[in-house]
Amino acid sequence: MTMAATGDEAAVLTRVDGGLGRIELNKPKAINALSADMVTIIDDTLTAWKDDDAVRAVLVTGSGDRGLCAGGDIKAIHRGIVEGTNEAVDFWADEYRMNHDIAHYPKPYIAIMDGITMGGGVGISVHGSHRIVTETSKIGMPETGIGLFPDVGGTFLLARIPQKGVGMHLALTGQPIGAGDAIRYGLADTFVPRERIEDLASAIAGSDDDVDAVIARFAEEPPASELVADEDWIASAYDGDTAAEVVAALRAHADERARAAGDLIATKSPLSVTVTFEMVRTAGDMSLDEVLERDFRAGSGISAQPDLREGIRAQVIDKDRNPQWSPASLDEVDPALVTSILSTEQTRKVFS
């Protein structure tokens, strides 16, 4: 096992407690944002525990009280783009391989989606077999606001939300949802109050009972869905053939919340919104592995465009919250550019 996983100052803490393998993301000041070394530690640990009979299940948590994981280390991605290195591409390849390993893990993989769980945080949780939310959960894929798209297999998940248009709404707006909506839309399974999480972990570690049975003893009724009241206008407004049509329909809608959603999408990167629209629209017919490979190609392609660099600069580096997108509007996005991004030739593959 990776030695960096030991010690209180390590970015990821791992231990085996009873029959429970525990992985704790340990960068609370950064809301446990995933760095390259963290991805390596997590994946190496999962590999080591896969055939270890002493580990019956895996539990993933985040340190601190702000969230499981705010996403990937986008400052490192920005640095790689600015310096012209392979840092971003290398990170994505390793991250997406980890997402695949989580989705196909042969033992119960229990993710505590407490607090902020966004972007890469969704990748280390929602692909797992047991997704637990609390009253503080805020789950989302906000990538269109930085010039990217919902990666880590996010479009695979969003495309499979059964309620019409909801997956596209979450993808384009980047708005987070709470515990009730996460369960309603299939992004989480069980609600357990935050104060009972450690008791749940101890119960799983100390019991020979089936993990499902233990979790069921701690499960409570989730909060009511907040987005359910908007499902009618979401179903109608997101029925357009292009992202531009969707935004126009939202802005012309009688419902004030629909108009606000249209205005919100219009502040995002037009290129990212258009790429995301196409990715969600087509991901329903793809396997997770196919989506992750496409994420890798598209990440390489979109990082060659100016918006990802500009979006991270505006939101995280300079924090002026005033990105200058190029192209500046949805109508100016060349469909041929979107096609080229989604089909970017990449000699490397996530799964070789």
Residue of 43, 95, 114, 151 with catalytic role: 151
Residue of 73, 143, 181, 278 with catalytic role: 143
Active site (annotated) includes residue 151:
yes
Residue of 62, 72, 115, 262 with catalytic role: 72
Active site (annotated) includes residue 37:
no
Residue of 120, 121, 262, 299 with catalytic role: 120
| Inter-residue contact 222 to 180 (CB < 8 Å) | yes
Q: What are phi and psi of 69, to 5 degrees?
A: -170, 125
Integer angstrom CA distances of residue 324 from 269, 270, 303, 328, 351 = 9, 11, 16, 7, 35
> Residue 86: which residues within 8 A CB-CB, separation 6 or more?
80
Active site (annotated) includes residue 123:
no
In order, the DSSP letters of 307-322 are HHHHHHIIIIIS----
Alpha helices in 174-312 (DSSP H): 179-184, 197-206, 211-218, 231-237, 243-251, 256-265, 270-283, 288-302, 306-312
Of 94, 95, 89, 143, residue with least CA distance to 119: 143
Active site (annotated) includes residue 147:
no
Q: What angle do CA 274, 98, 135 make, to 5 degrees?
A: 75
Tokens of 149: 């798209």
3-state secondary structure of 241: coil
Q: Which residues are catalytic?
A: 72, 120, 143, 151
